[in-house]
Every structure is written in structure tokens, then in C-alpha cells.
Structure 1
Amino acid sequence: MCIRYFGFALLVWFPGVLHAQNTTQSCTAPRLDGGFFSPRQETYSNGTTLTYTCHEGHKPPVKGWWVTSTCENGKWSHQPQCIDEKACFPPTIPNAKYTENSNGWYEEGDTIRTTCDEGYEHKDRRATARCTNGTWSSLPICENRINSCSEPPKVAHAVIIHQRYQEVFAADSEVQYECEDGYTMEGADTTNPIICVGGTWTGGPTCSSRPDAGHGGSPDVGTGGGHTTSTGHGTQPGREDSRPGTGHGGSPEVGTGGGHTTSTGRGTQPGGGGSSTTSGSRSVYASIDTCGKYPVVPNAVVVQVERMYLKYKCNSFYKQEGLDTVECYDDGTWSALPVCKEAFCVMKPGPYVYGLDLSAAVYLKEGEQKFPCMWQDYSVAVRCTNGRITYTDWSLSIYCNKGMTAACWIIPH
């Protein structure tokens, strides 16, 4: 009887042992041309880590002059190898995509072409980068399009449906709200979405409590076309004239720069163009991983990511105030963020002085000058100075070709 039970126990125990042996496999020693590793063994058990470095003229395929690789069930976490020191690692380009090389690195002379995410565009129309002597030449920057919108305004007792959250929306994007139970929508048809037009969302709805819902008190008013606030990340302009190109109907007017944006969220978020503050006295910096998600700086993009800091750059039509680098404190908060203030003028569609008549909005950067051709041999100089448009009569027949209209803008060389 005892022998029978013992044999049964072995049958139960052995399959478990065999299964355990099959779930973990050892790794063979890597072949490392142009470098050496330690410890040197013929085989490495699962979970074993080796360290390696490369000889002069070579480098590992990941950052660092010495790196580690771990045996994970028969495979190394990354294959130890030494590549040409002039090769490049995959770059980090926020808000952009590009085709990554299958081997994880790029040879000298390789070129990548980027595509900006929806709502972004290439700064200065530069979309490619070339690997030169171990670094990328002039990495492309994907910045907010001038007519794109930040996140839609938050409406009390409402949620946006059929749309994933994102921080930037392309022009003509549409989102639809739905009120929570016990509230009804006012100020907009429940089937009509709000639309991103010229950098601003069209007026949003209001969710008011129904008389029979038992909520009592005055209804909460959401942020529609009036004053709006932004919570979380990004900023949302409230007035229709708070972003370029938002004039609809009526007589045209000249937009002015120098406005301000506000934002509240995690870490320190400066607003109104003033100085930002940090809570308490901090002196110890930590890796940016400590602070988690990168802070959003309105009208700016992250252009460089390092272990201890982020670097921001304002979009084309904005001027930066404050430091361009942001660091992480060991308590999980970010240092003061830069502020990107408006630095442009916008001419809305309609008639202007000197017979100038625009059919579409025109944007000028601070200090920029353009020459609209109105007749065959006559044009007017339009300049953006301190957020205001100024005009100068000019006769520029050399720049104006026959048949040109106000829709044609010429910048002399």
C-alpha cells in the first residue's frame, strides 16, 4: 500500500518538475566583436546579468560606455554588441512618428523622415534628420498648428463622448458632450457638437439640473463660449478673440499679441505671464521619472528629454519667458515652467485701409512685414509691431505680377 501511494506521489511530482524546468532556460555566452564582458562563462542561468563595454571606435547599441544585459528565459534583454561609434540611437521627437530601424540603431548617413501627430505641424517645414558622426543633425520639431485647439472646455456635469482624450485637436475637429443623469443640456442642441474653429472651440453647452431631479439650488454653469478654465494639462481659451483667427462675421479687426494664458495641473503651472511659484523650499533634484507625466506648457513643445531635465521650445507665433529647461524635485513636483506669450498679429477677413480687402485671416509674427498686392503696380506694406498692425504705402511693381489680388502675399528677398 505504501509503495503504491509513493509511486502515485512521484507521478504527481515529476510533471511539475518537468514543467518548471521548461519555463526557464539558460543563455549561451554572447559573441562580442570589438568589446569584452564580465563574468565570462559558457552559459548563464536565467536572471543572470553580465556587464560589457566596447573598444575604441565602437560603442554599445544603448546609451552608456558600459551597459548591462540580463538573461531572460534563454534570451538576452538586449543582444550585447559593439557598433560603430559614429552610429546614432533612435531619437526622441515629441508629437511625431518615424519608421524605426529594426536593429535599434542607425548607421552614419542614415536619414529619418518624421510625420507630426494630428493638430501639429513641422516647425520651419523641417521634417527630416540625418545621422552625422553619432548625433542627429537638426531634429525636426512638431509644434501646435496656429489654428489647432487645446483640450475642449470642461462643462460641469457633462462628459465628452465618442472621443479619446488628447491635448491638441486639429482645426475642424468636432466633439460632443453628454450630461450626467438628472441634468439636461441647454445652450446647444444635444445632437450638435462643438467645433474647433481658428484655434477656439465654438460655444459649449450647459448642463442644468431638472426640476424633478432633486438636486436643489442653482444649476452649475459649464464653461462655454464665455470665460473658460483649464484643469489637468494644457490651456483652453475662453473668449472667442483669445486665439488667432477667431473672428466670425461683423467688421474685421486687428488682433493683438501679448495676451496671457493660465493653466492649473500637477506641479507648478505659471499663468498670466507672471512668475511661477513652487510650494515650499526645495533643493534636491531627481530623475524626471520621479515626477511622472511631463508637464504641459501651453503653446510649447518638448524638444529635448534628458535624465534630469526637459527642454521646451515655444511655437512659432509665441515668445518665451523664463527658463527653457524644467527639472524634477525629489518630492514629485516640477520646477517653474516657462511661459509662451503671444507674439503675433492677426488680420481678420474683410476690408481695410488703402482698399485692402482680405478673404481669409492672415497671421504675422511680431516684427514680420508683408506686402499685399492690390493692383498691378501698387501694394501696401503691413507690419506687426508690439501686437499692432501698421501700414505703409509702397509702390512695388517689381514684386507685383499682373493679375495679383489681395489674396497674394509677397515677401521681398
Structure 2
Amino acid sequence: MCARYLEFILLLWFPGVLHAQSTAQSCRAPGLAHGYFLPALETYPHETKLTYACDNGLKPVVEGWWATSTCQNGKWVHNPQCIDEKACFPPTIPNAKYTENSNGWYEEGDTIRTICDEGYEHKDWSATARCTNGTWSSLPICEKSISTCGEPPKIPHAVIIHQRYQEVFAVDSEVQYECEDGYMMEGGHTKQFIYCISGTWTEAPTCSQGTRPDTGHGGSTLGGKDGGHTTSTGGGTWSTGGGSRPGTGEGTGGGHTTSSGGGTRPVEGGSSTSSRPNERVVQTQIIPKDECGAPPTIPNGDVVGNYQMFLKYRCNSFYTLMGPERVHCYADGTWSKLPTCKAAYCSVDTSQYHQLVPAGVKYIKYGEKVRLECVRQDHWWTDHFSVVQCFYGKAWLSDCCSWLEIKTNLC
């Protein structure tokens, strides 16, 4: 009985399998210029693999000197093709993107320009690569920027909202925390942003149970608007005395103010409060750079990064940066310390050296070697050059040497 039942099932199943196989289309032999393939047939059944190779001076369109292609329902995957052996295949560059060629490969001499992923930057400022004789010359490297941040800190009873998980965050990134139901941050808020500044996240909030939204943790405010004494122990922003600032309470007179407990913590340098009535409170909290006005200029340098929370500087060619490359805006309207650009070159006036061919003034970077042509002498078989090196602002010139002497370090 069981055997007859199994036979009945097989009779029903096999026609379906045969029908599925019959619907899959076969492939015609591919047209392969300047190459050959095996097996050589007129048509190939579905899922047949074909092996091919190319004539001298050519190569398959995929890696290797031979390749395979598979018939998939009437089409070859991939389409067999022979290309110039000096062509290049798309490179793999971690943490980078570039515009891929539509035909899937690049001719000799083609150049690609890469864009690093967010949070990464080009090493040594190299962003391009050139296809030369079938290989890529010096592929760019995208490395993690020193100004990026890792994953934001984990906060008890809080989650990060509106942000997918990632390991690297670019400078000036922001993430928003939200407290668990029944918990609040200082000041009675349930949501708060933190920012990535110079490789470090600003101070993260804490979520506490039963926080009063009006006074923080039991804080109180005493005094009025006309110069009275004010004491604050709850949330808020560090205050500098009279006037009105969001989150600092009231007060339009010149009364003395003391702040403690919660509040916004300065990102760099800290801040100080005073117990003496006439002592000024120093404020070094970092704020968006637009609050400080136009970017400051530095001689022989330029702003190359204009971000929300800082400016990034770089020196012109032949100068080196001294000091911080990032400049922040402080809450008191002043800029943080500016960098300077120090000369990093030597100059050689060729007209001042009798052995050199006059060619004007030449500038050489620190540590760099250049060859300056020497005045031709009758007993020389070839042109001679003086090798010039720059050390700490002084140029050193070698004797006039032949090309061979220079290449073998005999000069």
C-alpha cells in the first residue's frame, strides 16, 4: 500500500520537475572576438559552464588569464569578452567610493578619484589613482580622521533616537538621547543632543527618576531682577553675572551670581566660578563658531574646513603649521588659540653661484632634494648637476656630478 502511494506521489512530482527544466532557456554560443572557448557547441543547456581564454596581448574581462561563464536561462553570466591586457579592473578601496566605469573595466591611462566615507580622510592627501600597464598606481588610502568620534557613550535608562548604529562619526556629528519613560534629565527634559568635537563627544546627559521639571534636583532661585543676590543649584548654564541668557534664570542688574551642581559643562579648559563679588567668571564653553563672527585670518594660511563647531586651518605650500589646526568659538565671543604658519623652505639664487646655470631663485622645502643644472665643462661627456638639500633653513649644494654619480650616491 505504501509503495503504491509513493509511486503516485512521484508521478505527480516528476512532470513538474521536467516542466521546470524545460522552461529554462538554453544559450547560443557567445561571440568572442580574439579569444577561444571550450566546449565548442552551437547551443548550451541551462547552467552549463563555459571556459575561455584570450589571444596574446589580451585578457578576460575578469581576473585571471582564463575565465568561466555560466548559461543562466538564455544569458551568459558574465558575457565572455577579451580586453587589452594593460586595462585595469575596478579596485577595492576600503572606506571609499568612486565612480565606476559602465563597461566594468578601465583603459590604460584612466584615472579614478575617490571620496572617503564620512569620518575618514585621505592619507597624505592622495585621492586619485591611475591605471598603468594593468595595475593601479598608488591606490588612495582612506583612514579614520583624528577628529572623528567612536560610538557615543551608553547612558543608563536612555536610548539614541533617529540614528542607525555606526562605529565612526564624523566631526560635528550630533546624536540625540531620549530617557526611558518615568525618567528625566536635569532641567526636566527628556531629550538632549551631544556633539562630536575634535574626536571627543561632549558631556552626555543622565536620566534620573522623579526629576522635577521646574527646579532640577531640589534647586531654588532667590532674588529678583534689580541686582539682588541669586543662588542656583539646579540645571542651567554657567553664568557671568548680570543680563539674561537662556537657561540661567532672571536678572538684569549687576548682582552677584553663584552657580553649582548641574549645568552645561565646558568642553575644553573648564570654567571657574567666584566667591568674591567683583571677580569675573571665566567662561570657556565651546559654542557654534558663527557666534564669534568672521573667521580669523593667519598669514600664509587658509581656512580649509568650515564646520558648525570649529574652523580647520592649513598652511600654504612651503610653510608648516605650528599650533592647533582646529579653532573653536568660546561662549564669551572669543576664538581659541590660533595656529601660525612657519616658513619651511630654503631659497637658492642660481645667479649667485658661478657653477650653476642661471635660472632665477629656486625654493626648496625642508628635507627635499633637487638637482640644479651646472654650467657645461668641455671635459664632461654628459650634463652635470648639483644636488641641493634644505636643512633647517639653510641650503647645502654638492659638487657638480654626472647622472650616474648621483644615482649611485657618489655625489
Structure-1-length-normalised TM-score: 0.47
Which structure exhibits the higher relative contact order, with contacts defined as CA atoms closer than 8 Å and separated by 6 or more residues? 1
